[in-house]
Amino acid sequence: MYLQMNCIIVDADANNRQELVGVLQHYGMQVVAQLSSVDTLPPLLQRGDAPHLVIINLDPSPQESLKKAGYLPRQFGAVNFFMMSSVVDANLLMDAMHLGVKEFIPLPIAEEKFAAAIERVAQQHGMGKRAKVIHVIPTIGGCGSTTVACNVATSLSQTNRTALIDLDLVRGGAASQFDLRPRYTIADVMGTEKLDRHLLDNALSVHPGSKLAILARPELPEDTQRVTQPGMARLLGLMARTFDFVVIDSLMSIDPIYTVAVQNADVNLIVMQLNVPSAKNAERFVGALRRMGIESSKIKIAVNRFEKKNRDIEPREIERALGLEIAWTIPNDFKSAIGAINFGEPVVLRAPKSEMSQSLNGLALELKGNHAKANAA
């Protein structure tokens, strides 16, 4: 069973085709064929593995192209047809709709509307987006973002299908926090071949104690070069359709693969400590997120290693500087933290009664919100 939507593109212009492939991959779609004319399309639609979607660019002669391709939606009723044109003419649009075209996309593409149209097709095939994506971002080394990501993911996995992706591609230690030595990693699911459940399942290591599915960082640092922006977009699109929650242990970066994570995240969770270097970086990165167009509702601040006495900055000062409230505060608990690391088991499992665990479970619950219930409905 494919977990991914398959799509064929028909466009006379090779550059347009290439551009559209990029856009579609961003939404987790697999482009199985790119054609320059509709003439070679019918045989591909007769096959057992016909695509879910065909996108035809009617330009440069939209009326003529529509005449030529117009019979296809009726003949291949199981396939969704989108037609695009830079000519937005009421007659053309009406003709296309009468012929059974699912969506008419005016060019240039308005990304939000296009995404919504794709989502409607995905839902129709039982592949609507499900997962809430939680992107965990550190502000300085050692502020505890891996601890937060691993424990929040573990906590969520008690009640929901949850995956953890280690996106600290060279130094990352998510798998070792669970005492796992994965055979396959994120670098193995980046290829251009079709990603099916089998391939994804193989690459995920399941933690026996929690059933959390972990996608580890590559073993060899040089393999991190196999992780690409389109691969990451495809992976997130696919995982979002497979899990209830996807937690990403990430980096403070706007490199292309991290931008994919930022933009796909329902929550960008910024982990900080109450000191000046951490606060400065938090402010710089929140600024970058805002310039990338991320709404405030998708940015949350968690203060880790909180101590009532030992702190350089007051929480109120941070909130004023960031223009955001601190969403969660996790106490400093060296004994529980180090015990968990040495044992290779997250704190929430190793020391569930500790104040640190209770706080991390509370954060998971806060992040969960109504999402799980909304999905169950």
What is the per-residue DSSP string for 63-87?
A: HHHHHHHTTHHHHTTTSEEEEEES-
Considering only the stretches 14-22, 82-90, 316-324, 331-339, report the one whose residues sit in contact with ligand ATP under the rule CB under 6 A. 331-339
Closest distance of CB 317 from ligand ATP, Å? 21
Contact (CB, 8 A) for 303 and 273? yes
Q: Which residues of 57-94 are buried (b: 16+ CB within 10 A; e: fewer)?
A: bbbeebeebbeebbebbeebeebbbbbbbeeeeeebbe
- 138 contacts ligand ATP (rule: CB under 6 A): yes
Among 44, 99, 341, 372, binds ligand ATP (CB under 6 A): 341
- 334 contacts ligand ATP (rule: CB under 6 A): yes
Q: Which is nearer to ligand ATP, 29 or 356 (CB)?
A: 356
d(CA 187, CA 224): 7
Contact (CB, 8 A) for 330 and 97? no
Segment 372-375 long-range contacts (CB within 8 Å, at least 24 positions apart): 372/159, 372/160, 372/244, 375/130, 375/244
228 binds, among Mg ion, ligand ATP, none (CB under 5 to 8 A by kind): none
Q: Which of 72, 78, 43 is nearest to 56 (CA)?
A: 72
Secondary structure (3-state) at 195 = coil
Q: Which is nearer to Mg ion, 55 or 167 (CB)?
A: 167
Among 175, 213, 270, 356, binds ligand ATP (CB under 6 A): 356
204 binds, among Mg ion, ligand ATP, none (CB under 5 to 8 A by kind): none
143 binds, among Mg ion, ligand ATP, none (CB under 5 to 8 A by kind): ligand ATP
Taking 3-state DSSP, the helix, strand and coil percentages for the chain, each rounded to the nearest 5, stand at: 45, 20, 35
Pick out residues in 286-305 that bind ligand ATP (CB under 6 A): 304-305
| 120: CB partners within 8 A, 6+ apart | none
Closest distance of CB 171 from ligand ATP, Å? 6
Secondary structure (3-state) at 376 = helix
- 10 contacts ligand ATP (rule: CB under 6 A): no
Q: Which is nearer to ligand ATP, 143 or 186 (CB)?
A: 143
Q: Using CB under 5 A, list all residues that contact Mg ion.
A: 146
- Environment class of residue 4 by beta-carbon count within 10 Å: exposed (0-12), middle (13-18) or buried (19+)? buried
144 binds, among ligand ATP, Mg ion, none (CB under 5 to 8 A by kind): ligand ATP
- 168 contacts ligand ATP (rule: CB under 6 A): yes
Listed in sequence order, the DSSP H helices in 144-269 are 145-157, 174-177, 197-203, 229-242, 256-264
- 333 contacts ligand ATP (rule: CB under 6 A): yes
Pattern 311-330, ligand ATP, x by CB under 6 A: -------------------x
Closest distance of CB 174 from ligand ATP, Å? 9
Q: Which of 301, 338, 343 is nearest to 321 (CA)?
A: 301
Please give the size of the binding site for ligand ATP, defined by CB under 6 A: 19
142 binds, among ligand ATP, Mg ion, none (CB under 5 to 8 A by kind): ligand ATP
Closest distance of CB 199 from ligand ATP, Å? 28
- 337 contacts ligand ATP (rule: CB under 6 A): yes
d(CA 181, CA 316): 42
- 146 contacts ligand ATP (rule: CB under 6 A): yes
Among 4, 30, 85, 145, binds ligand ATP (CB under 6 A): 145
- 103 contacts ligand ATP (rule: CB under 6 A): no
Pick out residues in 220-259 that bind ligand ATP (CB under 6 A): none
- 141 contacts ligand ATP (rule: CB under 6 A): yes
- 157 contacts ligand ATP (rule: CB under 6 A): no
User: Strand pairing of 205-206 and 213-215?
Assistant: antiparallel
Contact (CB, 8 A) for 132 and 367? yes
- Chain positions contacting ligand ATP, by CB under 6 A: 138, 141-147, 168, 304-305, 330, 332-334, 337-338, 341, 356
